Structure 1
Amino acid sequence: MNILLTGPFGNIGQAVLAELLARGHDVRCFDVPSHRNRRVAKGWRNHPIHIQWGDLRQPEDVRRAVVGRDAIIHLAFVIPKLSATGKESEAEPEFARAVNVDGSRHLIEAVQQLAPEAKFLFTSSVHVYGPTQHLPPPRRVTDPVNPVEHYARHKVEVEKMVRASGLTWAIFRLAASMPIRMIFDPGMFDVPLDNRIEYIHRRDVALAVANALEREAAWNRLWLIGGGPRNQYIYRDMAAKILDAMGVGMLPAQAFTTAPFAVDWMDTEESQRVLQFQTHTLDDYVAELRRNLGWRRAWVAIFRPLVRAWLLRQSPYYHQPVHELRPSSG
């Protein structure tokens, strides 16, 4: 199948790209030519991919990208943290809207005009439900959306456009899928320790995407894509696993917000039945994190007090003297 993949060089994008190539698909990669993306793309130079650098804000770039494609997998989005653009949706909402909403509109219109028979898969997010900790879990596809941030509002707008497009579509609302470097971002402190959160491994997202292309039952439907019950955590336990794997140890509870965060557990029974994608757990991610750190983990152990101090300085919520750095159970 001839596929256009937007955002191929991000966290989930690279996993999707690898899975599509493993299945023999012809993949055209569309992304912005940032320094980071060009560096990541060099790692794929020995793979049979076609890279088209461009900008979703430019209709002509988008039109060239969709020609001759049988399926569009639309991942590219400016996100709250760690965006491949180097900008964040909440810090620069006008820029984010131009990429996320206007760019998605350009993409949908180009497909309508130039590849109307193509399938269109859009990845949305559990963030669209807003804070739901006061509600009994899990979240379901029938639950109302209540976006409270620019990123989530943009996702809701694009979902509506996709559904109204007249194309053959699928929407995946994804659970949390952390990149290896997530732990060094201040965003880790923006989730309260008692918040429910569901993890999904990026390779399982990729599996769901690739399987959808082969299953007619996947189309013209909205799906919740999470890791399933064995990946449903209270954030305190998830954070402890990750911080312990790094050799840092759990940080004081005062470093984390107490404001509810827009993630929750999800009902994935039907999506798993149709798409058969839940193969990894958070423990797999933690093992990868350990391997990725390699010898550096020993250095973290040696300089543990300094690393903890540095991490605590990233927290906007931590107001204790930085010499109070003993491990905490939260």
Structure 2
Amino acid sequence: MLDRPQKPPLTIRLCGPRGFCAGVDRAIQIVVLALKKYGAPVYVRHEIVHNRYVVEGLQNLGAVFIEELDEIPDAHRDSPVVFSAHGVPKSVPADAEARNLFYLDATCPLVSKVHKQAMRHQRLGRHVVLIGHAGHPEVIGTMGQLPEGAVTLIETEAEAGAFDAPEGVELGFVTQTTLSVADTAGVIRALETRFPNIKAPAAESICYATTNRQEAVQAAAPGADLFLIVGAPNSSNSKRLVEVAERAGAKRSLLVQRASEIPWDEVGEIGTLGLSAGASAPEIIVDEIVEAFRQRFNATLELAITAEETENFPVNRVLRDVELTAADMAFVNGAA
């Protein structure tokens, strides 16, 4: 009888915190609660969070994803419409009111905080500098809180160095919540070097979940032969984790949405795998990837926990009379 070849050993450094943050959890909960209270369809403007698994799961429950409000059929004008966790320009709720639509705002409270910081800068007579990525829904939403021309978007240190500030006007900056902490610090330094009187926001703009996930990846990355980040290609915070892993010492880092995307031919002989997930990636996919490696390796889990998260953001008041079942909560928490 032939002996089975032994699986090669592998240490999986599993980061914590990882996956869903309180803002994502709240946004998904809002859609599920709206479906339970009002029935299908519930329309959602833009992906509620940047994750295909979550979007498809909500579609199966009766959510309909749209990009603009005019996509809602006349026959469904009484159906609720939910604004995504990334936030929307002021023009969107105004448009909803003009169309007599009932809307629920699922904007993450930490994104709303950045909106308020930007508006405060403007109220105090400052030109607002927004550090972020052009075209990202959160950036579009933040810029849309202020009149056209009141905000300048800066993406890089080079752009900060070339920024031609309006004459005779104070400056104030805010940042997108999901940026690389290190990259953002460099842009802020460049701005403060050129404009020593530029005003910072009253509180940190980059959210706690972004910072926590980056710190956990930094701790787990040194010596990792491969680092996998679970997340979507359009997820800013997930893409930043890939960059953080490589900068912190991982030999290679990849973004994958499912275990089926792992390029096994390229994985090769590895002894240490780092694993984390962006703030919109459900835990069930992390489990799926761990199992995929266990099928190929004699894998040992090693936890790399750098913080504990206890934040909880309440849902809209109108939805608080609806109860979620255990199965609902498993889906909301990314476990199903």
Both proteins in one fold, TM over 0.5: no
Between structure 1 and structure 2, the one with the greater Rg is 2
Q: Which of structures 1 and 2 has the larger relative contact order (alpha carbons within 8 angstroms, sep 6+)?
A: 2
Q: How high is the TM-score relative to the length of structure 1?
A: 0.31
